[in-house]
Amino acid sequence: MELILKKDVEHLGFTDDVVTVKPGYGRNFLIPQGLATMATTGAKKQLAETLKQRAHKEESNIKAAQKQADKLSDLDLKMTAKAGEGDKLFGSVTTADVSDALAKEGIEIDKKFISIAGGNIKRLGQYEATVRFHRAVQTTFTFEVVGAAN
């Protein structure tokens, strides 16, 4: 029996896959649990159209992400933070702080898409951060943490 998966099913397939299973497994488990639907001719055509639209949308998302990545790679970002003796910061610079600094420069990125090499920053200096715009597009940029003028 052919089915179209609505959700990922372990050891069987991923969402929108067309799979062949034994009739009992399909009728008694997959369909009642809402994990799959019958793979009729109409459903297969609809799935093909959906995948085609999703691929087109995905392509435009990748282009937009690439534009943002290019914009970010040209950026010279300097962040100020209060520091004490030996260039040690009071507190630390986190991904949220980097996200806020980027927002001030006109680049809106959620903190969960930013990762700082080495974790939170506790000293003044130059650092690298990686931003994942899309699963296919990520970029690394450098920024500098400087001491705040007293």
Q: Give residue limits of the domains in the chain.
A: 2-64, 68-147
| Mean local confidence (pLDDT), 122-138 | 89
CA dihedral (30, 31, 35, 41) in degrees, to 10, reads 110
The pLDDT of residue 145 is 92
pLDDT band, very low/low/confident/very high, at 122 (cuts 50, 70, 90): very high
1 pLDDT more than 90: yes
> If you classify domain 68-147 with CATH, what class do you get?
alpha beta
> What CATH number has the domain spanning 2-64?
3.40.5.10
Q: Which helix (H) or strand (E) holds 123?
A: strand 121-123
The pLDDT of residue 6 is 94
Q: Is 44 helix (H, G, I), strand (E, B) or coil?
A: helix
CA dihedral (70, 92, 95, 78) in degrees, to 10, reads -20
pLDDT band, very low/low/confident/very high, at 143 (cuts 50, 70, 90): very high
| Mean local confidence (pLDDT), 30-34 | 96
Asked if 25 and 13 touch (Cβ cutoff 8 Å), the reply is no
pTM to 2 decimal places: 0.62
pLDDT in tens, 49-62: 999 888 888 888 89
| Mean local confidence (pLDDT), 9-14 | 88
Q: Using a pLDDT cut of 70, give the percent of the chain over it.
A: 99
The pLDDT of residue 86 is 84
